[in-house]
Amino acid sequence: MNLKNKKILITGGSGFIGMNLIARLEKEGAKAENYDLSDGNQIENSKNLLKFIKKKFDIIYHLAGFSGSSQSNKDITKSFKINTFATVNLLDQVLKFSPKTKVIISSSRLEYGKPKYLPVDENHPTRPISAYGLSKLCATQMALIYHKIHNLNVTVIRTSNVYGPHTSPKFSGYNVINHFIDLAKANKSLKIFGNGSQKRDYIYIDDFIDAIILASTPKSAGQIYNLGYGKGIKLKEMAKLIIKTVSKGKVKVVKWPKNYQEVETGDYVSDISKIENDLDFKPKINFQTGIRRTLEEQF
């Protein structure tokens, strides 16, 4: 998709994904604008958000959210205020003041809860086991209602673990790959809960951005797409591969903390055949290459 001179709003654009996305959009010649808490722009501040919506952007990439399963269970009200109600408000404002804007919502694999089968496709039952997963699922369902009833051009991306070049080494309870890379660089221990046999699906940031740009086309309207690399890696193997690539760090196996075990979903691998078939998306960066690029291309 040609993004040159497109007016694009990124909510949560100062985070890891947002910073990489804005850099890519500007490289493509788009006019990107950031709406982020770090600049005093709270996503739940309806009056303030409306000032931006009225600018009538061509595309809105909605990344802002309250992340982390364990954290969301500690503050359920905050999780729903930010992830659900603020998203619904954004959709409502777009409908009323900028109905031609394309909205892409970044959501999560955690909408599915514990997988019943692998790989997980878009028809898999949605039974989240955390406030975070449920708050995201509610937002997704409302987005589909806005599309069905009002023909709003909205697409939802259910993503697995995204990693890549980043700035802050601070760990917020999610984005474990970037956290492990930072720990290994500092020659510290990478803590694996339990036996580390759980499989996860990791996607490099450049592939993620390729996918959501492809999802900006009209044909994706009203659709949900799973997004990942499409292959699973065991947690202990992931950690060992990071250590091998960085040449520092060590694996430390520890017992499950109760608050993490309560929201553990087990193995997860994305079935990405729908986004491959509909949008001609194909991930290019395997995990080992992605680790190397993360080390080489830091912000």
Alpha-carbon distance of 222 to 93, in angstroms, equals 18
Alpha-carbon distance of 66 to 46, in angstroms, equals 17
| Most distant pair of Cα atoms in the chain: their distance | 54
Contact 7, 55 (CB under 8 A): yes
Alpha-carbon distance of 155 to 72, in angstroms, equals 24
Query: For residue 48, what is the domain's CATH number?
Result: 3.40.50.720
Domain count, the chain: 1
pLDDT in tens, the chain (299 residues): 889 999 999 999 999 999 999 999 999 999 999 999 999 999 999 999 999 999 999 999 999 999 876 778 889 999 999 999 999 999 999 999 999 999 999 999 999 999 999 999 999 999 999 999 999 999 999 999 999 999 999 999 999 999 999 986 666 556 899 999 999 999 999 999 888 899 999 999 999 999 999 999 999 999 999 999 999 999 999 999 999 999 999 999 888 777 667 667 889 999 999 999 999 999 999 999 999 999 988 66
Across 107-136, b (16+ Cβ under 10 Å) vs e yields bbbbbbbebeebbbebebebebbbbbbbbb
Does some domain include residue 123? Answer: yes
Q: Which residues contact 33 (CB under 8 A, 6 or more apart)?
A: 7, 8, 9, 10, 52, 55, 57
The type of residue at 228 is G
Does some domain include residue 1? Answer: no
> Which phi and psi angles does 123 have, rounded to 5°?
-90, 0
The type of residue at 114 is K
Does some domain include residue 2? Answer: no
Alpha-carbon distance of 265 to 129, in angstroms, equals 8
Alpha-carbon distance of 282 to 200, in angstroms, equals 18
Task: Name the nearest CA neighbour of 270 among 158, 163, 164.
Answer: 158
Q: List pLDDT tens digits, range 232-264.
A: 999 999 999 999 999 999 999 888 777 667 667
Give the residue numbers spanning the domain of 267: 7-296
Size of the chain, expressed as the number of residues it contains: 299
Does some domain include residue 220? Answer: yes
Does some domain include residue 190? Answer: yes
Does some domain include residue 61? Answer: yes
